[in-house]
């Protein structure tokens, strides 16, 4: 397809589950220097209390990096499962520590996202709100260090995308502060909604709540189909010695060769046909689906059996949003079933920008063809409509002005190069 570029990728293989310390060990094994992580501990204001002990160990015949977090010289017990409705560390306290730290903004924000997801899952378990959940175990200092250092280590690698194979989970029971719980633990199960999950015949918890939260916050896509030129492979060791399976997480950093014309990802497509819904339902449902993370949602008129007219609802989304999108469709439409398929997408590099026009600065959509340095510009409807109303001119005049201004050098300021949730442009 012409000019091609190398995209730097981190690929995780949690074939024996994942925890915060396993991920951190794998990233160190990839070559992230310990000094970089020690710098994060200092930025958290924990340099006088926390020490990262890094060592080489063996799990099932594989040499891997083991990371232990010593707090006040003591190794904290590696229990994670279960949070309290009272007592312990609140998520607000964790987020407050992140906010008052000297961490780089992007690292603090992403680490905060991990803990917010944890608190939301625990709130569902206990039937309360995230603000009232006390992270009795997962909010301990060692987990804060694991999360912040893992986020910083991924940033240090400079990867453009993070992919993961479906994580493997064990079975049986796990001990928590509330007693015996099933595997996966309830919070872990909530966190992994929409994530493809493999179950293996190991009577232990393999995916911890912190590991699950890191996965859903850091990983762009879950897939086994990865075309990758490996640069380096690393292994992070877990705590257990398992019979017949090495308790390690494998991480690979490398390059995927892709055409600049497209970014490649994989989406799920949900489809159902309805012939008995009131018209007012559809804008309400589509708004709810988009708010819940759908990339797009649209209607297509169809003719059903016996000549009855109907509407086909099509929703595009990511794997980790599948459960909530599916539930919304069942709840709102009353449909008895839907088709769910997977599809590869090819997407032009896109960005959002601000265009200087005679009607003032207007937000626009930008895309770029392979081998071209100039962005193509498309109007944003809401921005153009607001300008038309403000200046009391036809909407068509504003659209024409966007076309004119887009040809003027220096008129466009690109805000960020990122994939945005699309509406009618999604394929």
pLDDT of residue 226: 84
- Cα 245 to its chain centre, rounded Å, is 28
Neighbours of 179 (CB within 10 A): 8
pLDDT by residue for the chain (427 residues), tens only, comes to: 444 556 899 999 999 999 999 999 999 999 999 999 999 999 999 999 899 999 999 998 999 999 999 988 887 655 444 444 444 567 778 888 888 899 998 899 999 999 988 888 888 887 777 766 666 544 478 889 999 999 999 999 999 899 999 999 988 877 666 677 788 888 899 999 989 998 888 888 999 999 999 999 999 889 888 888 899 999 999 988 888 889 999 999 999 865 555 566 788 999 999 998 899 999 999 999 999 989 999 999 999 888 889 999 999 998 888 989 999 999 999 899 999 998 887 778 788 899 999 999 999 999 888 767 788 999 999 999 999 999 999 999 999 999 999 999 889 998 754 444 444 344 4
Closest to 199 measured CA to CA, from 12, 16, 13, 11 = 16
The token pair at 324 is 């909530």
pLDDT of residue 253: 96
Please give the domain boundaries of the chain with CATH numbers for all domains.
4-259 (no CATH), 265-347 (3.30.70.1380), 350-417 (no CATH)
Closest to 216 measured CA to CA, from 230, 233, 242, 197 = 197
The token pair at 352 is 């959002």
Q: How far is CA 200 from CA 61, 64, 196, 210, 241, in A?
A: 20, 22, 13, 20, 16
Task: Note the pTM of the prediction, 2 decimals.
Answer: 0.62
Contact 267, 29 (CB under 8 A): no
Contact 254, 7 (CB under 8 A): no
Q: Is the dihedral of CA 80, 83, 87, 92 positive or negative?
A: positive
3-state secondary structure of 240: coil
CA–CA distance, 50 with 141 (Å, rounded to integer): 8
Torsion of CA 224, 270, 425, 417, to 10 degrees: -40
pLDDT of residue 338: 94
pLDDT of residue 80: 45
pLDDT of residue 147: 93
Q: Which residues of 54-93 are buried (b: 16+ CB within 10 A; e: fewer)?
A: eeeeebeeeebbbbbbeeeeeeeebebbbbbbeebbbbee
């Amino acid at each position: 397809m012409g000019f091609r570029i190398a995209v730097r990728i981190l690929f995780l293989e949690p074939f024996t589950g994942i925890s915060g310390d396993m991920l951190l060990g794998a990233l160190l094994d990839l070559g992230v220097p310990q000094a970089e992580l020690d710098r994060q501990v200092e930025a958290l204001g924990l340099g006088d209390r926390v020490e990262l002990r890094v060592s080489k160990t063996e799990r099932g015949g594989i040499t891997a990096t083991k990371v232990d977090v010593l707090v006040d010289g003591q190794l904290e017990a590696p229990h994670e499962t279960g949070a309290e409705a009272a007592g312990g560390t609140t998520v607000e306290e964790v987020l407050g520590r992140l906010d008052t730290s000297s961490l780089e903004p992007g690292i603090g924000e992403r680490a905060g996202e991990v803990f917010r997801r944890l608190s939301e899952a625990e709130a569902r378990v206990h039937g309360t709100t995230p603000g009232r959940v006390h992270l009795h175990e997962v909010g301990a200092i060692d987990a804060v260090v694991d999360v912040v250092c893992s986020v910083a280590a991924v940033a240090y690698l400079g990867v453009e995308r993070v992919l993961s194979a479906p994580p493997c989970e064990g079975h049986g029971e796990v001990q928590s502060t509330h007693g015996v719980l099933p595997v996966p633990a309830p919070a872990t199960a909530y966190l992994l909604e929409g994530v493809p999950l493999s179950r293996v015949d190991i009577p232990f918890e393999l995916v911890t709540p912190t590991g699950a939260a890191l996965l859903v916050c850091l990983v762009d896509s879950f897939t086994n189909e990865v075309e990758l030129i490996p640069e380096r492979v690393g292994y992070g060791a877990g705590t257990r010695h398992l019979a017949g399976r090495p308790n390690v997480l494998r991480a690979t950093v490398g390059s995927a060769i892709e055409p600049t014309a497209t970014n490649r990802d994989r989406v799920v497509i949900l489809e159902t046909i309805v012939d008995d819904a009131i018209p007012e339902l559809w804008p309400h449902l589509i708004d709810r689906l988009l708010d819940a993370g759908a990339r797009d949602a649209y209607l297509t008129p169809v003719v059903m059996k016996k000549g009855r007219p109907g509407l086909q609802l099509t929703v595009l989304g990511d794997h980790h949003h599948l459960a909530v999108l599916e539930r919304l469709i069942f709840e709102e439409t009353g449909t008895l079933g839907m088709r769910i398929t997977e599809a590869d997408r090819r997407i032009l590099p896109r960005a959002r920008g601000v265009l200087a026009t005679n009607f003032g600065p207007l937000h626009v959509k930008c895309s770029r063809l392979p081998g071209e340095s100039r962005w193509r510009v498309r109007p944003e409807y809401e921005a153009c409509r607001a300008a038309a109303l403000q200046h009391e001119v036809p909407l068509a005049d504003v659209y024409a002005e966007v076309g004119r201004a887009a040809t003027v050098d220096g008129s466009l300021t690109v805000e960020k190069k990122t994939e945005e949730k699309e509406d009618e442009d999604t394929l």
